[in-house]
């Protein structure tokens, strides 16, 4: 029996505020370069994905501040998002939008904690760099609680180019890679949608994808449709670099 789960991406659902995230009052590493002007701070915020471990044994909360003044949050369950404005070292955020999936109670609690921090808030932010030049984002809420996020450079900043957004249907089974039969490769079909989100095209046949998809974890019990960022690799092989963005639809495969 096949069971499908459709993950709706852009429904404007408002999440209620709930408990506070665990807070950190101290920074473990020696920091320097703590003062940046607004232009540089805006650039740094948008060049990195910022992650915070709110609860052990749960996925990190990950937030992306985009240059178009929107932001998105991955909580391990639903996707949240809104708009943001930076003035000096203060960020003002809008009411959050969210997808509407049911998840485990622990993940549902974590996303409500995220909404409490980032939904319609005024936050003080400061970016510091440790001795390894890894950026740390300190966020202080209106009650003076601080949260320490670690930066991971976005591929757009790393490769200095904008990604092509594509959608791939992923088969549950893999096949040996051409040229390297000891390695397994994903089988994919490319899907295209119009501006209204209606599917307009899908490949007829499965194709073996020679490159891996960074950040994607394959499960042979699940058939998925995922959104992927594809970059042209200008310097070296392979020709393309694929980076997992989000799951759009998944179907559990039962024997």
Percent of the chain beyond pLDDT 70? 85
Mean pLDDT of all residues in 68-91:
94
Task: Say if residue 31's pLDDT is above 80.
Answer: no
Mean pLDDT across 57-73: 94
Statement to judge: residues 125 and 213 lie in one domain: no
**Which is nearest to 146 in space by CA: 24, 14, 16?**
24
Based on the domain organization, do 131 and 192 belong to the same domain?
no
Residue 206 within any structural domain of the chain? yes
Q: Where are the beta strands (DSSP E) in 141-179?
A: 146-153, 164-170, 175-177
Query: Residue holding tokens 């970059």?
Result: 231
Alpha helices in 85-174 (DSSP H): 105-118, 155-159
Residues 64 and 185 in one domain: no
Place of tokens 């003076």: 144
Q: What is the pLDDT of residues 101-144, one digit of tens each?
A: 888 899 999 999 999 999 999 999 999 987 777 899 999 999 99
φ/ψ of residue 131, rounded to 5: -65, -15
Whether residue 140 is found in the same domain as residue 81? yes
pTM to 2 decimal places: 0.66
Q: What is the CATH number of the domain that holds 63?
A: 2.40.128.270
Residue 200 has pLDDT above 90, yes or no: yes
**Model confidence at 56, in pLDDT bands (50, 70, 90)?**
confident
Q: How many domains does the chain have?
A: 2
- Give the range of the structural domain holding residue 135, as residue numbers without chain letter: 3-153
Angle CA 147–149–155, to nearest 5: 160
Which has more pLDDT, 178 or 46? 46
């Amino acid at each position: 029996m096949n069971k499908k789960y459709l993950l709706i991406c852009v429904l404007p659902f408002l999440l209620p505020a709930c408990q506070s995230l665990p807070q950190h009052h101290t920074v473990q590493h020696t920091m320097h370069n703590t003062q940046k002007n607004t232009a540089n701070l805006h650039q740094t915020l948008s060049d990195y994905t910022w992650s915070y471990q709110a609860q052990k044994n749960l996925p990190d909360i990950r937030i992306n501040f985009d240059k178009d003044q929107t932001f998105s949050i991955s909580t391990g369950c639903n996707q949240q998002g809104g708009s943001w404005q930076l003035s000096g070292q203060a960020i003002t955020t809008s009411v959050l939008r969210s997808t509407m999936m049911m998840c485990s109670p622990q993940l549902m609690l974590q996303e409500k904690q995220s909404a409490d921090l980032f939904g319609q808030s005024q936050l003080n932010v400061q970016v510091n760099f440790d001795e390894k030049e890894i950026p740390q984002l300190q966020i202080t809420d209106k009650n003076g609680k601080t949260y320490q996020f670690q930066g991971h450079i976005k591929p757009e900043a790393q490769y200095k180019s904008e990604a092509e957004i594509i959608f791939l249907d992923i088969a549950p089974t893999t096949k040996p890679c051409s040229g390297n039969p000891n390695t397994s490769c994903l089988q994919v079909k490319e899907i295209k949608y119009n501006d209204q989100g209606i599917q307009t095209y899908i490949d007829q046949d499965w194709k073996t994808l020679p490159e891996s998809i960074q950040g994607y974890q394959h499960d042979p019990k699940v058939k998925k449709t995922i959104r992927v960022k594809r970059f042209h690799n200008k310097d070296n092989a392979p020709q393309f670099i694929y980076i997992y963005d989000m799951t759009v639809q998944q179907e559990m495969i039962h024997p």
